[in-house]
Amino acid sequence: MYCYSVVCSMMQFLLFNAKLLFVKAQYSEGVSLCETYSNRVEVLSLLLSAYYLDLPSVDDLSSIDNIRYSVTYAYMHSLTHT
């Protein structure tokens, strides 16, 4: 079994350090990109902590509506089959 929380924590750590480097270099586009990816990793962490294993792709993470639909569909599906 994979330890997803460790992987997500490592990604958050690396993104935070990259963000610090971009701030030091005064590169605002890099900072905003780190923020974007950090938010996506946070969404993945939330999905994993809820044992949602049908994880979205990176492209799907860019659209919150796709994620909301997937999670809602999975939840409704689980309600009908209990």
CA distance 40 to 10: 14
Task: Report pTM.
Answer: 0.70
CA distance 50 to 13: 22
Q: Give the model confidence (pLDDT) of 3-39 as tens digits.
A: 778 888 999 999 999 999 999 999 999 999 999 888 8
CA distance 71 to 55: 10
Q: Give the model confidence (pLDDT) of 37-68 as tens digits.
A: 888 888 888 888 778 777 777 777 777 666 67
